[in-house]
Amino acid sequence: MAGGLYDHLLAVVLVGALFAAAVVALPNVGYVGLLSIDQQQLRNVALSALNTILLDAGYPLNWGSSIFFNPASVVRFGLASANNSELYILDQDKVQKLIAENPSQVGHLPYETVRQLLGLQAYGFNLKILAPFNSTAKDCAPPANPSNPTEAELKNINYEVKVKFNNGKPIPNAVVNALIFFSEKVGNDYSIKYIKVSQTTDELGKCNIVKTLTGQQISDVLIVVQSTVGDIHTVTSVYRRGAPPRDIAEISMVGDTFIVTPPDVTPKDARQILSISVYTDDGIMSVYNGTGPPDDVINWGQKDYWVKSLPGLSYLGPVISIFNVWAVEGGRGAVLVVGPFPGYLGDRVLSFGSSEGQPRGTAGVSLQRVVNIAGMTYVVEFTLWKQQ
């Protein structure tokens, strides 16, 4: 009798446990399954959009090559080069049109326009094109007054370079080539000159660039740091004065054409383009020596910006351009100006898109691809999420 009652109670407990599993556990399993399916669908959308961005040249095929760019002229969006059949080769003119900070003469493509062209109205996204690893240079002997350094301070070069992966891990045995550019006055003429200093990073990913410049009247100094790991390299640049001279000029390039746009400053003193050098994957090249007034002068009264076409310039694949500009602000004389932004910092697109509605955790999808722009390797980061 007692045994039968015990069996009955055990049966009741087992049935109750099965019922609880059906009511509580099974819906949770179903929810997890649905979440996994939704995440896979989001990944498929992200993969399709990223393939379009990186593998399609868009239409018109060279839609990024015009000055005074009109976003309405883009019928189909894609960043691939129309002149190269290899995969993941991007057109630097198209990439430059993703920079919202471009001057109005160059223009840019708004995020909402790209979102519509890609058919992503129900989604938000963010696109970055970054250097494959991080290289920074710290001035160990900064001028007492960076805005007005003495010539002795300009000549005394001492920088600590750190090379590390984007996750922060140091890279030992990286080859660091520092190209030290300086504007030197000989007689009545200013010219760009440079010297090269090479070092290798230690086990902490560090090395020091130390040099004392020799020359006559040196008015400005710029250091371009090329860091190489294996056969991949990146570049960044630092000013001896501590910061880019944004009150002098902004450098842009479209195809074979340079555009120099001065900022809205007071007083609006004239500037003159003295000479131009470019850094390419093959090294440093001088591409232009100024002819003087009136062709190479920006004076605001008749010429608010400077445009110069140099046939074959785009074929060289300039990564950054160094301008020697005569300007009188602060009594500086010849000033070195580097561009375009943000290429002189080592990256191509710091951030294009929106963070509005961007979820945390697993609700979004992030993809990465390695691409080539003007002979340099970059990493594309594409993040997509569904708008609420």
Give SS3 for 38: helix
Q: Are 325 and 249 in contact (CB under 8 A)?
A: yes
Considering the domain architecture, whether residues 339 and 282 belong to the same structural domain is answered as yes
CATH value at residue 170: 2.60.40.10
- Within-domain flag for 183: yes
Q: 82 pLDDT exceeds 60?
A: yes
In the predicted model, what is the mean pLDDT of residues 286-306?
85
Kindly state whether residue 364 falls inside one of the protein's structural domains.
no
Is there a domain that residue 79 lies in? no
SS3 at position 125: strand
User: Which pLDDT band holds residue 267 (cuts at 50, 70, 90)?
Assistant: low
Task: Give Cβ neighbours of residue 380 (< 8 Å, ≥ 6 apart).
Answer: 50, 53, 54, 127, 128, 129, 368, 369, 370, 371
Contact 79, 63 (CB under 8 A): no
Give the model's confidence band at 14: pLDDT under 50 very low, under 70 low, under 90 confident, else very high: low
Q: CA 101 from chain center: how many Å?
A: 12
Domain closes at, from 243, 261, 287: 243
Task: Say whether both 234 and 250 belong to one domain.
Answer: no
Quote the pLDDT of residue 293.
84
Domain coverage including residue 262: 244-346
Q: Name which of 127, 124, 191, 155 is nearest 336 in CA terms.
A: 191
In this structure, of 34-38, 65-69, 131-135, the range with the lowest mean pLDDT score is 34-38
User: pLDDT by residue (tens digit) across 138-159?
Assistant: 999 999 988 788 888 989 999 9
The pLDDT tens digits of the residues spanning 298-332 come to 877 667 889 999 999 998 889 899 999 988 765 66
- Give the strand order in the sheet containing 134-139: 134-139, 156-164, 206-212
Where residue 291 sits, what CATH number does that domain have? 2.60.40
355: which residues sit within 8 A by CB, 6+ positions away? Answer: 126
**pLDDT given at position 276:** 94
For position 26, what pLDDT does the model report? 47
Question: What does the pLDDT read at residue 333?
Answer: 78
Yes or no: say if 131 and 109 are a contact pair by the CB < 8 Å rule.
no
Longest dimension (CA), the chain: 120
- Dump pLDDT digits (tens) for 321-330: 999 998 876 5
d(CA 375, CA 320) in angstroms, rounded, equals: 12
Query: How many Å apart are CA 96 and CA 105, to the nearest integer?
Result: 13
State the pLDDT at residue 190: 85
User: What are the tens digits of pLDDT across the range 46-77?
Assistant: 999 999 999 999 999 999 998 889 999 999 99
Amino acid at 31: Y
Amino acid letter, 22: A
Q: Which H or E element spans position 23? A: none
Last residue of a domain, which of 243, 262, 282? 243
Q: Tokens for 385, please give them.
A: 């999420």
Q: Which of 144, 147, 143, 145 is nearest to 157 (CA)?
A: 143
* pLDDT for the residue 31: 46
Summary mean pLDDT of the chain = 86
- The mean pLDDT value for 118-128 works out to 94
Tell me: pLDDT of 347 over 80.
Answer: yes
* Full DSSP string of 232-290: EEEEEEEETTSS--TTT-EEEEETTEEEEE--S-SS---EEEEEEEEEETTEEEEEEE-
β-strand 320-327 against 283-289: which pairing, if any?
unpaired
**Gyration radius of the chain over CA positions:** 28
Q: Which two tokens stand for residue 378?
A: 């970059």
Do both 140 and 236 map to the same domain? yes
Examine the domain organization and report whether 230 and 254 are in the same domain.
Answer: no
For the chain, percent of residues with pLDDT exceeding 90: 56
In a domain, 341, yes or no: yes
User: Is the same domain home to 207 and 160?
Assistant: yes
Task: Answer yes or no: do 270 and 339 share one domain.
Answer: yes
Residues 270 and 201 grouped into a single domain: no
Q: What is the mean pLDDT of residues 110-119?
A: 96
Q: How far is CA 141 from CA 41, 153, 351, in A?
A: 54, 8, 32
The H or E element containing residue 385 is strand 376-386
Specify the pLDDT at position 246.
72
* Amino acid 330: pLDDT: 55
Q: What is the pLDDT of residue 96?
A: 95
Q: Are residues 168 and 239 in the same domain?
A: yes
3-class DSSP state of 14: helix
Tell me what percent of the residues of the chain surpass a pLDDT of 70: 86
Query: Confidence band (pLDDT; 50, 70, 90) for 270?
Result: confident
pLDDT over threshold 60, residue 27: no
Q: Which amino acid is at 193?
A: K
In this structure, are strands 175-186 and 349-353 parallel, antiparallel, or unpaired?
unpaired
Euclidean distance between CA atoms 366 and 353, whole angstroms: 14
In a domain, 302, yes or no: yes
pLDDT computed for residue 85 by the predictor:
85
- Same domain assignment for residues 258 and 327: yes
The region of weakest confidence among 7-16, 138-147, 220-229, 286-295 is: 7-16
Kindly report, residue by residue over 178-224, the tens digit of the pLDDT: 999 998 888 878 888 899 999 999 999 999 999 999 877 888 899 99
Of 211, 243, 275, the position where a domain reaches its end is 243
Q: State which H helix or E strand residue 32 sits in.
A: helix 26-55
* pTM score: 0.85
Give counts: helices (H), strands (E), the chain: 6, 20
Of the listed ranges 2-11, 247-256, 353-362, the one predicted with least confidence: 2-11
167-181 pLDDT per residue, tens: 899 999 999 999 999
Q: Where are the beta strands (DSSP E) in 54-122?
A: 89-90
Residues 255 and 338 both lie in one domain = yes
Residue 199 and residue 179 share a domain: yes
How many domains does one find in the chain? Answer: 2
Q: Is the pLDDT of residue 124 over 50?
A: yes
**Residue 22: per-residue pLDDT:** 52
With cut-offs at 50, 70 and 90, classify the pLDDT of residue 16.
Answer: low
Q: Which amino acid is at 353?
A: G
133 near 165, Cβ under 8 Å? Answer: yes
d(CA 294, CA 348): 34
